[in-house]
Amino acid sequence: MIRKLYDWIMDLAAHRHAGWALAIVAFLESSFFPLPPDALLIPMGLANRARVFRYAFIATVASVIGGLFGYLIGWLLFDTVGQAILSFYGLERKFSTFVSWYHEHGALIVLFAGLTPFPYKVITIASGVAGLDLAVFTIASVVARAGRFCLVAALLFWFGPAARRILEKHLGWITLAAGILLVGGFVAVKYLM
C-alpha cells in the first residue's frame, strides 16, 4: 500500500498540475489539514530536481496564504470553527495558556512552528486569537516557511539521486519514521501547551 502511494505521488510530480496539488496541500495544512506539504514536496523534488526550488516557492506562498486564512479563523471564527479544530486535536484546555505566551514571544513562536514539524495550523489560529500583529505574523511566516521549504529543496537538489535510492530501498522504515514525527508533533502540541 505504501509503495502504491509512493508511486502515485511520484506520478503526480511529473503531472503538469503538480504545482497546484502542492499549493492546495500547503494552503490547507496551514489552516486545518493534518498532512504536511513535505509529504508532496519531497517526492516531487526527488522526481524532478530541476523544479525543486520552484516547488519550494509554491509551497511557501501557499502556506503563508493558508496561514493568513488560519489567522482569520482564530480572529473571526474562533468560537465556531477554531474551537472545533482545537477540539479535534484535544487542545481546548491548554490553549488559553498558549495564547498568553503570545504577548511576550509571538514572533518567535511563529518562527519556531514554521520551521519545525510542529502543527503550524495551531500557531496560525492562535495568532489570530491572540491578536498578534498581522505584519509580524506575516513576516515571521514568510521567513519560517521559506526557510523550511528552501532547506528541504536544497537538500533534495544536492542529495536527490542518493536520497531517492535510499527512500526507495527503505520506504517502509522511512514512512514509519515520518509517521512517528507527525504524531510526535501532535503529542508535543498536546503536552507542551
Name the residue type at position 157.
Answer: F
Domains of the chain, by residue range, sit at: 2-192
Rg of the Cα trace of the chain?
A: 17
Q: What DSSP character marks residue 79? A: I
Cell representation of residue 9? 505521488
Q: Which residues of 141-166 are buried (b: 16+ CB within 10 A; e: fewer)?
A: bbbbbbebbbebbeebeeebeebbee
Share of the chain above pLDDT 90, in %: 24
Helix (H) or strand (E) holding 9: helix 2-14
- What is the structure's pLDDT at 172? 65
Q: What is the chain's percent helix, strand, coil content, to nearest 5?
A: 90, 0, 10
CA distance 50 to 44: 10
Q: 78-119: per-residue pLDDT in tens?
A: 888 778 877 777 777 777 777 777 777 888 888 888 877 777
15 phi/psi in degrees, rounded to 5: -75, 150
Greater model confidence, 104 or 55: 55
Q: 8-50: per-residue pLDDT in tens?
A: 777 777 778 888 989 998 999 888 777 788 878 888 888 888 8
Is it the case that residue 185 has pLDDT exceeding 70?
Answer: no
pLDDT class of 186 with cuts at 50, 70, 90: low
Q: Which of 20-29, 121-130, 183-192 is predicted least confidently?
A: 183-192
What mean pLDDT comes out for the span 163-188? 68
- What is the structure's pLDDT at 188? 66
- What is the structure's pLDDT at 57? 97
- What is the structure's pLDDT at 105? 82
| HSE of 127, CA atoms in CB hemisphere, 13 A | 32
**Closest to 192 in 3D by CA, of 111, 124, 98:** 98
pLDDT class of 168 with cuts at 50, 70, 90: low
CA distance 59 to 144: 12
